[in-house]
């Protein structure tokens, strides 16, 4: 375990402390106020830990680790339950890739539904789902039936229809090259429509409970569910299933992506050398400082001693495969990426198409107006983010993307 820490303490008076790993990284005042609101909640255990990719979220700040005893805040977990990363190292070398990756990108885009329009198959259609999705659904369906028995509204969600689909926004699939010229496949997605339905329902339920109990909050999105209540048990059960769905979703997309690459490349390859599959939007019961606590990682990754994780940059920057150092002061956590410095609306206003094209030079990806909200300039400098958390993780591999699929 690391013996030194790189954080600074913010806002101790009247609240739980806030320990922020943000040295040398932009940290705006609105995010600080949001963190202060979170730290004022009476059930925070010890302190709130802030990762260097921190930025404003809904209710809770993205890039924060929120340990609680006796309650959870559904909006802090969010609606993309179990959102996270998966990376697989292949036996391919950079020299094995063709000079143009246009056909490979087209093959991946065909194999994995993505975007708002093409991000799903027909609801409930077993004939349209690929074999990989059907195999995963067999393991998920029993738990889903039990959830639907309690929550009939969940039956009409996009569940099987979204299994193996990417979505839009900051979700992506990338082909990357590491420091030894090895080829990796990396992707980012979560629980899609069914997770959104679960998260949204329990956020609304928590807000109703706050009104019924006349509980005043600094932010309505900090509405919480007390442990021991019926809603608490239902929430934890539903979130656990959504997190399993998210992991299965990534596994299906990885299998489909690798198959698409095999259809384009002339040589055989395997991708079982090394793989990582980790959440960065989730809750988990953990033991910290003598107590069993609920740890909410809102845009943060578990980084226990020796644990592998993924910290992606923007679509024009480096990404990192890391190994956790088990720093207890961060509740054994690290950042989940670079973190935004511009909202999507702001990025579209401030960054020109010409600037975007220049920023992603050398990457086979979309270079159109509709993807400017994901342009590299909208994100923090990933190197600065990594330096700020060098006491939380050690870098095992440095990846640079050569192909990026965005919804």
Active site residues: 336
In whole angstroms, what is the distance from residue 83 CA to residue 280 CA? 6
Question: Is 79:199 a contact under the CB 8 Å cutoff?
Answer: yes
Question: Is 375:350 a contact under the CB 8 Å cutoff?
Answer: no
**SS3 readout for the chain:** CCCCCCCEEECCCCCCCEEECCCCCCCCHHHHHHHHHHHCCCCECCCEEEEEEEECCCCCCEEEEEEECCEECHHHHCCCCCCEEEEEEEEEEHHHCCCCCHHHHHHHHHHCCCCCCCCCCCCCCCCCCCHHHHHHHHHHHHHHHHHHHHCHHHHHCCCHHHCCCCCCCCCEEEEEECCCCEEEEEEEECCHHHHHHHHHHHHHHHHHHHHHCCCCCCCHHHCCEECCCHHHHHHHHHHHHHHHHHHHHHHHHHHHHHHHHHHHCCCCCCCCCEEEEEECEEEEEEEECCEEEEEEEECEEECCCCCEEEECCCCCCEEEEEEECCCHHHCCEEECCCCECCCHHHHHHHCCHHHHHHHCCCCECCCCHHHHHHCHHHECCHHHHHHHCCCCEEEEEEEEEEEEEEC
In whole angstroms, what is the distance from residue 283 CA to residue 277 CA? 16
In whole angstroms, what is the distance from residue 180 CA to residue 358 CA? 26
In whole angstroms, what is the distance from residue 238 CA to residue 67 CA? 20
Q: Which of 93, 97, 271 is nearest to 186 (CA)?
A: 271
In whole angstroms, what is the distance from residue 183 CA to residue 9 CA? 40
In whole angstroms, what is the distance from residue 357 CA to residue 153 CA? 44
């Amino acid at each position: 375990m690391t013996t030194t820490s790189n954080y600074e303490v913010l806002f101790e008076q009247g609240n739980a402390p806030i320990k922020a790993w943000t040295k040398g990284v932009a940290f705006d005042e609105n995010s600080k106020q949001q963190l202060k609101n979170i730290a004022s909640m009476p059930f925070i255990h010890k302190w709130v830990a802030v990762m260097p990719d921190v930025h404003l979220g809904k209710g809770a700040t993205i890039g924060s680790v929120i340990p609680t005893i006796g309650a959870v805040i559904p909006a802090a977990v969010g609606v993309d339950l179990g959102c996270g990363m998966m990376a697989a190292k292949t036996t391919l070398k950079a020299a094995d890739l063709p000079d143009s990756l246009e056909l490979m990108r087209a093959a991946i885009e065909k194999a994995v539904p993505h975007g708002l329009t093409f991000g799903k198959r027909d609801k409930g259609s077993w004939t349209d789902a690929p074999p990989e999705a059907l195999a995963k659904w067999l393991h998920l369906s029993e738990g889903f039936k039990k959830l639907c028995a309690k929550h009939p509204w969940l039956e009409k969600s996009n569940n099987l229809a979204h299994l193996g689909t990417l979505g839009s926004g900051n979700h992506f699939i990338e082909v990357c090259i590491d420091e030894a010229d090895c080829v990796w496949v990396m992707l980012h997605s979560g629980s899609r429509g069914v997770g959104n339905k679960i998260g949204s329902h329990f956020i609304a339920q928590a807000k109703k409970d706050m009104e019924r109990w006349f509980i005043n909050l600094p932010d309505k999105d900090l509405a919480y569910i007390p442990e021991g209540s019926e809603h608490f048990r239902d929430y934890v059960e539903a979130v656990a299933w959504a997190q399993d769905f998210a992991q299965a979703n990534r596994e299906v997309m990885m299998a489909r992506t690798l198959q698409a690459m095999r259809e384009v490349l002339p040589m055989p390859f395997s991708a079982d050398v090394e793989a990582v599959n980790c959440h960065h939007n989730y809750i988990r019961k953990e033991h910290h400082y003598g107590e069993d606590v609920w740890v909410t990682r809102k845009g943060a990754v578990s980084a226990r001693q020796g644990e592998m994780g993924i910290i992606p940059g923007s679509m024009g920057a480096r990404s990192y495969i890391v190994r956790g150092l088990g720093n207890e002061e961060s509740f054994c956590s690290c950042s989940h990426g670079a973190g935004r410095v511009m909202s999507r609306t702001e990025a579209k206003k401030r960054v020109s198409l010409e600037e975007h094209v220049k920023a992603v030079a050398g990457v086979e990806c979309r270079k159109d107006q509709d993807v400017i909200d994901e342009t590299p300039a909208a994100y923090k400098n990933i190197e600065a983010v990594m330096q700020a958390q060098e006491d939380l993780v050690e870098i095992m591999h440095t990846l640079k993307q050569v192909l990026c699929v965005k919804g």
